[in-house]
Amino acid sequence: MVIDLRSDTVTRPSPAMREAMARAEVGDDGWGEDPTVNRLEQMAAERMGKEAACFVASGTMGNLSALLAHCVRGQEVILGDESHIVHYEAGGSSALGGLVWHLVPTLSDGTLPLDAIEGAIRPLADWYAQAGLICLENTHNRCGGVIVPVDYFAQVAELAARRRLPVHLDGARLFNAAVATGQPVTAWTRHVSSVQFCLSKGLSAPVGSLVAGQKDYVARVRRARRMLGGGMRQVGVIAAAGIVALTEMVDRLAEDHVNARLLAGGLAALPGVQLDLATVQTNIVVFTLAPGIDSTEFSAHAKREGVLIVDMGGGRLRAVTHFGISADDCRRAVEVCGRAVATCAARSA
């Protein structure tokens, strides 16, 4: 059996999801007539503490629609240089929306320095592109799934209000932050204008994300979604899985967090593995290898023994726990990684 730790996106729909999908009531969502989609969007808006929500095909489409609905062509979006939007969304908001990315450094705790955000907002002048949006991410993927604290969000919200800018949250894994800290998702979302969260990561639905915000804003998101070709029809068949995800799969994320700590503890104890356990706050484990040990060779060795890990580049490796991964899988993965690192170290000696 393969132990797939590449991402929580590899999760398969649960039996309850398949059952709900088969039984879903549907209608034409293009006309707002799919009752299952409408129910999911209402549930999502309530959970996020916002007026409305729009169901989209993916986290990438959610972030892109969200950015297009906030800004006009030529405006600047203030983004962390380690953000998912910058690294893994094919440059969509720039290529398709004409938005200008103003990158600021991402600190290892997933925050962007407040003075860097403030410094990225250019004065009003004919020759300066004007800021239209600040983006945050929580949990922070490339920082190892760390939880960006609520009080930091409050500080950014204060800055944004003072500079009259909206804040968008890429909350693909916001429920992981909520479950890990025992705080409701609204602790964070009350400080942002819009939020995107994914149903298809740890929550295990096969498809889908939602963008939530004020009613008139969500109407603009819906228009952007349509423009991107993401308007859907009898899509209650997938929204039904999303409803199961929101009602049955949130609390169990705690299990993924326990397993991530188990995995991280085992990996950190291996000679040749470098891992800061303080960064393991949710379901993502990022680590490096001692100098001279090749990460590509390491992950290839692990793969041959049935353990899939992502090589993030720059020597960083990532393992993610999820619905399909048990504590035993984590123990077995540590054994395999132990053999892989020992073999690679012997070769490099």
Ligand X SMILES: Cc1ncc(COP(=O)(O)O)c(C=O)c1O
Per CB under 6 A, residues contacting ligand X are: 9, 58-60, 63, 84, 137, 141, 170, 172, 198, 200, 209
Q: Please identify, using beta-carbon distances, which residue of 59 and 97 lies nearer to ligand X.
A: 59
DSSP string of 274-316, one letter each residue: E--GGG-SSSEEEEEE-TT--HHHHHHHHHHTTEE-EEEETTE
- Residue pair 232/36 in contact (Cβ under 8 Å)? The answer is no
Nearest distance from residue 305's CB to ligand X, in Å? 25
Nearest distance from residue 53's CB to ligand X, in Å? 16
Q: Does 9 sit behind a cis peptide bond, omega within 30 degrees of 0 on the bond before it?
A: no
Nearest distance from residue 138's CB to ligand X, in Å? 8
Q: Please identify, using beta-carbon distances, which residue of 165 and 174 lies nearer to ligand X.
A: 174
Nearest distance from residue 170's CB to ligand X, in Å? 5
Q: Please identify, using beta-carbon distances, which residue of 89 and 329 lies nearer to ligand X.
A: 89
- Residue pair 203/13 in contact (Cβ under 8 Å)? The answer is no
Q: Please identify, using beta-carbon distances, which residue of 250 and 268 lies nearer to ligand X.
A: 250
Angle at the Cα of 205 (from 327 to 30), degrees rounded to 5?
A: 170
User: Residue of minimal CB distance from ligand X?
Assistant: 59
Nearest distance from residue 167's CB to ligand X, in Å? 16
Q: Please identify, using beta-carbon distances, which residue of 146 and 198 lies nearer to ligand X.
A: 198
Q: Please identify, using beta-carbon distances, which residue of 50 and 140 lies nearer to ligand X.
A: 140
Question: What burial letters (b/e) apply to 136-173, b meaning 16+ CB within 10 Å?
Answer: bbbbbbbbbbbbbbeebbeebbebbeeeebbbbbbbbb
State the residue for tokens 């088969």: 22
Nearest distance from residue 247's CB to ligand X, in Å? 20
- Residue pair 2/325 in contact (Cβ under 8 Å)? The answer is no
Tell me how far apart the alpha carbons of residues 223 and 69 are, in angstroms, rounded to a whole number: 8
Nearest distance from residue 326's CB to ligand X, in Å? 22
Give CA torsion, residues 214, 42, 206, 175, to 10 deg.
Answer: 70
Tell me how far apart the alpha carbons of residues 240 and 209 are, in angstroms, rounded to a whole number: 13
Q: Residue type at 79?
A: L
Q: Please identify, using beta-carbon distances, which residue of 198 and 340 lies nearer to ligand X.
A: 198
